[in-house]
Amino acid sequence: MNGLFITIEGPDGAGKTTVLNELYPRLQMIANSEIVKTREPGGVMIAEKIRQIILNPEHQQMDERTEALLYAAARRQHLVEVILPALNAGKIVICDRFVDSSLTYQGAGRRIGMKEIAQINEFATEGLTPDFTLYLDVDSDTGLRRIHRSRTQEIDRLDLEGLEFHQRVRHAYLKLAEENPARIHRIDAKASLQEVVDSSFSAIVEANPKYFKRGE
């Protein structure tokens, strides 16, 4: 494998998707190879179907371990169909969420335990870890306010969780970032969109000089 695997993570309302949409064309202009932009849960037909089952607000009776296994199952299918072939072809993959989301949401948010979640994800990914992770950090009050204010965004089953759930998720992200300083780069997502995009862009390019031409 000689591609580059980048993930973008953050609590709900951090603005990941908007930032990624702005970043993608800028990065593509200076990338030495094709960039594949994808997301989890989803990215391929089977995983998108699993996403609909997980996030449907009517599925209130879903057991938390069922939820964790479904995320891992969607991840496996997406990995095999999209991520691994792209990395094997030397491409740059930028994925909106990956295993860190399961560690924080199911491990900490649902209180299953980060170790347990790491184990099922080790099985699903055979140990594939991102080369670089951009973590967009936002406090839970701001994140939740942003989700509920945005009329374009559909409210899913996890968005309906209360403040404490989202605070556990955020603390787990901060812990992961502290434990993995070489991989996870924290960005303050309360700044303006332009500032967040600019600092995300610089962080990615500076950390991966082999894959991007400098001096855009």
Chain residues in the site for ligand TMP (CB under 6 A): 12, 40-41, 71, 97, 101-102, 105-106, 156, 158-159
Give the pair of three-digit tokens for residue 146: 């942003």
- Report the residue number, 91 or 97, with the smaller CB distance to ligand TMP: 97
* Contact between 74 and 40 (Cβ < 8 Å): yes
- Report the residue number, 5 or 211, with the smaller CB distance to ligand TMP: 5
Task: Please give the backbone phi and psi of residue 161, each rounded to the nearest 5 degrees, phi first.
Answer: -65, 155
Q: Using the structure block, give the residue that is written with the tokens 């303050």.
A: 188
Work out how close the CB of 54 gets to ligand TMP at its nearest, in angstroms, rounded to a whole number.
Answer: 7
Work out how close the CB of 169 gets to ligand TMP at its nearest, in angstroms, rounded to a whole number.
Answer: 8
Closest CA to 47 of 31, 71, 27: 71
Give the pair of three-digit tokens for residue 189: 């997502």
- Report the residue number, 12 or 22, with the smaller CB distance to ligand TMP: 12
Work out how close the CB of 110 gets to ligand TMP at its nearest, in angstroms, rounded to a whole number.
Answer: 8
Work out how close the CB of 146 gets to ligand TMP at its nearest, in angstroms, rounded to a whole number.
Answer: 12
Instruction: State which residue has the least CB distance to ligand TMP.
Output: 105
* Contact between 81 and 31 (Cβ < 8 Å): no
Work out how close the CB of 79 gets to ligand TMP at its nearest, in angstroms, rounded to a whole number.
Answer: 12
| Distance (Å, whole) CA 152 – CA 192 | 19
Give the pair of three-digit tokens for residue 101: 């989301």
- Report the residue number, 4 or 95, with the smaller CB distance to ligand TMP: 95
- Report the residue number, 71 or 201, with the smaller CB distance to ligand TMP: 71
End-to-end CA distance of the chain: 27
- Three-state DSSP string of 106-125: HHHHCCCCHHHHHHHHHHHH
